[in-house]
Structure 1
Amino acid sequence: MDSHNQDTDQPTRQRVARSILVNGPSTAAALAERLHLTPAAVRRHLDHLVEEGAVEARDPRPAGHRGRGRPAKVFALTERGRDGFEAQYDDLANQALRFLADTGGEDAVRAFADRRAAFIEERFPAVAAAHPEATPAEVLALVFSDEGYAASVRQLPVVGEQLCQQHCPVSHVAHEFPQLCEAETAAIARVLGTHVQRLATIAHGDGVCTTCIPGSTTEKKEQVTS
């Protein structure tokens, strides 16, 4: 296939991938019906997406098969395929924040960052009540993990605890707009009632976001539970 055909096929290929993203693993027949394409066209696009590593073919679950013959394979997005969509969303978010900065200035961007970080203070009390055995840092890890940050807590002798986020859903955007990280750090400090310090961020090229939490928060928890 020449490059011209590949260029004209790209929008349709994106529709196929997006349909899988939205609806979950799908058969070629289901995609063809959903997108009003011929099965042959869908299979051609799927073959290309599989070759790119954006989609993988899987055997369907046995419970979903009825009738005779081998059940049709389903096609699912790979991690690479999902990353492609995340990159598009990052570009859109960057454009939106640049527009906000141009029209509303620094205060508008900071207000947006504060609004986005509000989930930390909003969810902390309920999660803490549901997990009375957890330290405040561990409660934060649960809150962040629910938001897609893959967070955990590391105990540090003498110092206290360290909140570690293995993934950051807004890292690419926060690279240009550090106000997002600053708002999260401020919200963490408010719910803990103590000063905390960001030691590293994925947005600045580190492998993990780490926030140092003084030992006093652990001691407070021990006093409450004793």
Structure 2
Amino acid sequence: MDATKKSTKDKILDLLKKEVSLTVNDLTDRLNITHMAVRKHLNILEKDGLIQSNEIKQPMGRPLQIYSLTEKGERLFPKNYEGISVEFLHDIKDLHGEESIHYLFKKREQRLTKEYSTRIAQKSTHEKMNELVKIQNEKGYMANISQIGENTYELVEYNCPILAVAKEFKTACSCETQMFKNVLETDQVNRICCKTDRDDHCKFLIKF
């Protein structure tokens, strides 16, 4: 959705998804609206069970209210299992062994490599990275790219549409990393943070 057409409540949910936790002041600064307006939206979101607040004691003054998404709030963001369910994968593992799981994810890696390569081919490095982010966002990853050096990029994925699967089968993560290497034609793709390791986001350092 076009960010300019999003409601203030949607923007708050997006910010909490990306930043994990924020105060009223943080939200006021980012949304450029009044404290009163922010609190009004937060009260509604909290009443709907989409966000929660925690008090952080401070050396002086009143405790600080920190807001974050609840499980119900997390469920608003895309979850795209691409026909794969955790139970189904466990059944396959029980029937055919661990190797069958690796084979399935390798097949998925090959399929995605072909799909992504078609769109990224014949582009400059910078164009490749922008197209990669575009594809990931189409798939619900809430991705963002930053160029941090002449030939170095940082890719952040704020949402993982297959998190439930990846938590059970880490090979999903290694296959995604390998797929990026295949598509971008560089071996220097390092996953430095991963949501399956309880990090807030998945983050990659990519060098050409």
Please tell me the TM-score bracket, short chain as reference. Answer: 0.5 to 0.7
CA distance 1:178–1:150, shift in 2 (3 Å): same
> Among 121, 138, 146, which residue is 1:154 paired with?
146
After superposition, residues 9-158 of structure 1 pair within 5 angstroms as 53=48, 80=72, 83=75, 93-128=85-120, 134-157=126-149
Q: Name which of structure 1's ranges 142-151 and 132-141 shifts more when overlaid on structure 2.
A: 132-141
Would the aligned equivalents of 1:120 and 1:144 in 2 still touch at CA under 8 Å? no
Instruction: State which drifts further: 180-189 or 143-152.
Output: 143-152
* Unmatched runs of 5 consecutive residues or more in structure 1: 1-51, 56-78, 217-226
Contact conserved, 2:159 with 2:201, CA < 8 A, in 1? yes
- 1:167, CA displacement in angstroms? 0.5
User: 1:165 deviation in Å?
Assistant: 0.8
Aligned residues between the structures: 140
CA offset digits 1:2-31 (Å, max 9, x no partner) = xxxxxxxxxxxxxxxxxxxxxxxxxxxxxx
Give secondary structure in 2 for the equivalent of 1:117: helix
TM-score by length of 1: 0.51
Matched, 1:200 2:193: yes
Cα pair distance change 1:114/1:133, threshold 3 Å: closer
**Partner secondary structure for residue 141 of structure 2:** coil
In structure 2, do the counterparts of structure 1 residues 81 and 151 end up closer, same or farther at CA, with 3 Å as the change threshold? closer
Q: Quick one: higher RCO (CA 8 Å, sep 6+), 1 or 2?
A: 2
Aligned to 2:170: 178
**Deviation at 1:109?**
0.6
Per the alignment, do residues 156 and 174 of structure 1 end up closer, same or farther by CA in structure 2, a change over 3 Å counting? same
In structure 2, the residue matched to 1:23 is none
Structure 2 unmatched runs, 5+:
1-46, 51-70
Helix, strand or coil for the counterpart of 2:172?
A: helix
CA distance in 1: counterparts of 2:192 and 2:144, whole angstroms: 15
Q: Could you tell me which amino acid in structure 1 is paired with residue 158 of structure 2? A: Q
Deviations 1:116-161 (A, max 9, x none): 3345322323433697694322222112111111112112236700
TM-score for both structures, normalised by structure 2: 0.55
- Answer 1 or 2: which has greater helix percent: 1
CA distance in 2, matches of 1:104, 1:185: 25
C-alpha change, 1:157 and 1:113, in structure 2 (3 Å) is: same
State the 1:174 CA deviation: 0.8
Distance 1:190 1:129, change over 3 A: closer
